[in-house]
Amino acid sequence: MLVNLFDEKSIQSATPEFVQKLIDSIPFIVDENTLHALLSILVCVMPYFEKTMSYNNIVLNEFITSEKEDFYKDKLLYLTNRGSMYRLDKCMQTIGVLLSNYKSEKFFNENDIDIIVSVGLRELATPNASRARVQILRVLN
């Protein structure tokens, strides 16, 4: 189920209840690779939820809660910096959602924006899937 969740069609099967259970499991995960895999699932689901239920995007709401904001921001930047290893296209799409949503306008600081721009420029110079390049250019724009 988790591997197939990265497929565009399979993302549609991610119900809010399923995603909430994933979010609730985060404090209990001790393995860093498992945590990164779970967070990459949330990163894949956030843009879909923003399109379909922007009024109640539970992933966005989870990312911007004040006590967890730094945790999610650091993990998102970590995943983004890994490039195509963790679905760069979805990381950039999620960053675009966070940058364009009024609820999360203070999510990234200037240093974070510098990191995003640096990673975007670096990844544009390397071979990536066209969808990743499109999302990079959208975020950089």
Residue 86's closest CA among 128, 49, 121, 37?
Answer: 37
**6: enclosing H helix or E strand:** none
Terminus-to-terminus CA distance in the chain, angstroms?
A: 34
Mean pLDDT of 14-23: 89
Distance CA 87, CA 79 (A): 8
**41: enclosing H helix or E strand:** helix 32-52
In contact, 88 and 128? CB cutoff 8 Å:
yes
Q: What confidence tier does 3 reach under pLDDT thresholds 50, 70, 90?
A: very low
CB within 8 Å of 77: residues ≥ 6 apart: 112, 115, 116
Whole-model pTM: value is 0.85
Mean pLDDT of 13-41: 91
In contact, 45 and 19? CB cutoff 8 Å:
yes
Structure tokens, 131: 């969808």
Distance CA 65, CA 68 (A): 6
Question: What residue spans define the domains of the chain?
Answer: 4-140
Mean pLDDT of 104-114: 91
Distance CA 8, CA 124 (A): 23
Q: What is the pLDDT of residue 65?
A: 84
